Amino acid sequence: MKTLFSRSLPFALLLLAGNALAQSTPAQSLPDWDKLTPQQREALIAPVRERWNSDPEQRPRMLEHAQRWKEMSPEQRRQARKGMRRFEHMNPQQREEARVLFEQMKKLSPEQRKELREDWRRMTPEQRRTWVEKHAPKGPTSPPIR
């Protein structure tokens, strides 16, 4: 299953590596990419390289995500990061609900999405579980965000 959350995962890893680097150096003093040292570039790229090499089956998905990220506006990227942070703090059941909801929302018109959000808010936890089971994709899904 392709989600906005997982589409941005390689870049989230880059951001995390960048955060570690930035925490030791004030943001204003960090140079443009072309002026980074080889060690700084390596620190930023290593997590993506490791993931690329460790899971060859995910390479097309990773490349698609990178291309999609590049096409996003700054506001879309901000929203994606916000969604990733929310997703990271969800328990497994909430994550599964989010995945299924996202897949269903992609298929709906804006009015239908609004209606589903309203219905979802009114559902009990048991009704939500039933809804998720009914609408969950039958085939393999994307791996969870690590």
Q: 36-94 pLDDT, tens per residue?
A: 999 999 999 999 999 999 999 999 999 999 999 999 999 999 999 999 999 999 999 89
**Residues 98 and 109 reside in one and the same domain:** yes
Domain count within the chain: 2
Read off the pTM.
Answer: 0.55
d(CA 134, CA 137): 9
In 3-state terms, what secondary structure has residue 122? helix
**Residues 57 and 3 reside in one and the same domain:** yes
**Residues 17 and 79 reside in one and the same domain:** yes
d(CA 55, CA 118): 39
Taking CA atoms, 65 is separated from 40, 127, 141, in Å, by: 23, 33, 16
**Residues 56 and 116 reside in one and the same domain:** no
**Residues 97 and 85 reside in one and the same domain:** no
**Residues 127 and 96 reside in one and the same domain:** yes
Q: Which range of residues forms the domain containing residue 116?
A: 90-146
Q: Which two tokens stand for residue 9?
A: 């995962």
100 DSSP assignment: H
